[in-house]
Amino acid sequence: MKQGSDKELKQKIYGGGRISSVEALSLFKWDLIELGEAGNMRRKLAFPKDEVGFIIDRIINFTNICEAACNFCAYHARANLIKPFELTYEEIFAKIEELLLLKGTQVMLQGGLHPDYTLDTYVNMVKNVKKRFPQIHLHSFSPCEIAHMAKKSSVPIDEAILKLKKAGLDSVPGASDLLVDRIRKKVSPLKIGKNLWCEVMFALHRNGMKSSATMTYGMGETDDERIRHLSVVRDLQDKTGMLRAFIPWSFSPARTRLKNIEPATGIDYLKIVAISRIFLDNITYIQTGWLTEGLKLAQLALGMGANDMGGVLMEETVVKATGIETKAGIDEFIDIITNAGKKPVLRDSEYKVLKKFRTTSKKSVVL
């Protein structure tokens, strides 16, 4: 760390003060260990417990037919890696039955922007799932899917959200990618821009829906653009308090049209976790992006600012399409959390603790 202004910044961070974008940018130059310690200290201020939660959930990607055909996505049908598909209700129900057998509580329905799907398609999907599985928390779709369905049915975004909510939708993942239009034009030119993303998020808030925010980095952006993304998220949270969690993960270029981009490193990831924790002083939970980073890096992140493992995702095809296949079960989650010196807890979608685990030895777990 440099002397002088860095010393003042360190005092500010350890004193719990809010840091500016310029100060956040300077953190990228900090020594990793020092930055991680600062991130962990801010985690303790935001969340003093040693608990690390996870949820048993299932992502159900119901179609890969997508009119956006983003350059950074290997999942959509036009990438020619996965044959075009649309799940039937029966197929969706069967996947949820499997989740219930494992005592899962949350379903994430997400799909491509199908050119023929209207708002009714999504509302009926929600109604049918909720009719059959009223106990499931539906944390589903994304701001870009909501903008898509509103546009297809020529209704205001608020109306689309209200109909989805009445049908049984419980909350919506923030699926933010990188909220910098220079990068969005390059990686997802037909997807919504930053302003429309914000518009949908404010509409969700007006209609009483909670959400989360993510950050996909490693797409050729500068450190300054990374901080600009975090600023959009912090401002939104200041105004709404709607974000339950923040989840950073790296872009996986393999098999996408951007495969020449140099992938981000594990060091980048840990720095981003710590900087996010310090900068996002209004968000309680920072999840490890274990699906893209792997369980060992996720474990390190738990000591640098992260305090939630997210979901034991039973099925996921979007990241898998890029060739990354990280799998984990409940026992592995408990081991990873325990061996990070934390207490594993099973939580629900609202971050309420459902169950605490006690480990009697490295391999033996008592519920």
Rounded to whole angstroms, how far apart are CA atoms 110 and 186? 23
Instruction: Give yes or no for a contact between 120 and 159, defined as CB atoms under 8 angstroms apart.
Output: no
Residues in the chain: 367
Closer residue to ligand SF4 (CB): 13 or 73: 73
Interface with ligand SF4, residue 70, by CB under 6 A:
yes
Closer residue to ligand SF4 (CB): 23 or 316: 316
Cα 27 to chain centroid distance, Å, stands at 23
- Which token pair is 182? 């220079």
Interface with ligand SF4, residue 183, by CB under 6 A:
no
The window from 37-45, 73-81, 93-101, 296-304 that contacts ligand SF4 (CB under 6 A) reads 73-81
The window from 69-77, 223-231, 238-246, 353-361 that contacts ligand SF4 (CB under 6 A) reads 69-77
Helix (H, G, I), strand (E, B) or coil at 130: helix
Give me the least distance between CB of 144 and ligand SF4, in Å please.
6
Helix (H, G, I), strand (E, B) or coil at 327: coil
- Which token pair is 164? 């989805």
Closer residue to ligand SF4 (CB): 188 or 307: 188
Interface with ligand SF4, residue 112, by CB under 6 A:
yes
The contacts of residue 309 (CB under 8 Å, 6+ apart) are 52, 53, 54, 287, 288, 290, 298, 333, 336, 337
Closer residue to ligand SF4 (CB): 175 or 273: 175
Interface with ligand SF4, residue 66, by CB under 6 A:
yes
User: What are the DSSP E strand ranges found in 208-301?
Assistant: 210-217, 243-250, 285-286
Interface with ligand SF4, residue 76, by CB under 6 A:
yes
Give me the least distance between CB of 80 and ligand SF4, in Å please.
13
What does each C-alpha distance from 127 to 16, 168, 264 come to in angstroms? 45, 6, 40
Region of 323 (left: φ > 0; alpha: ψ -120 to 50; beta: rest) is left
CB burial of 233-255 (b: ≥16 within 10 Å; e: otherwise) equals bbebbeeeebbbbbbbbbbbbeb
- Tally Cβ neighbours within 10 Å of residue 2: 10
Closer residue to ligand SF4 (CB): 258 or 304: 258
Give me the least distance between CB of 83 and ligand SF4, in Å please.
15
Closer residue to ligand SF4 (CB): 30 or 251: 251
User: What are the DSSP E strand ranges found in 160-209?
Assistant: 171-172
Interface with ligand SF4, residue 347, by CB under 6 A:
no
Give me the least distance between CB of 69 and ligand SF4, in Å please.
5
State the DSSP code for 263. Answer: P
Interface with ligand SF4, residue 69, by CB under 6 A:
yes
Closer residue to ligand SF4 (CB): 251 or 285: 251
Residue type, 242: M
Beta bridge partners of residue 215, listed in sequence order: 248
Angle of the 143-152 helix axis to the 119-132 helix axis, nearest 10 = 120
Enumerate residues 144-163 that contact ligand SF4 by CB under 6 A: 144
Interface with ligand SF4, residue 108, by CB under 6 A:
no
Closer residue to ligand SF4 (CB): 1 or 68: 68
Per-residue contact flags (x/-) with ligand SF4 for residues 299 to 338, judged by CB under 6 A = ----------------------------------------
Enumerate residues 226-285 that contact ligand SF4 by CB under 6 A: none
Interface with ligand SF4, residue 75, by CB under 6 A:
yes
Residues that bind ligand SF4 (CB under 6 A): 66, 68-70, 73, 75-76, 112-113, 144, 188, 191
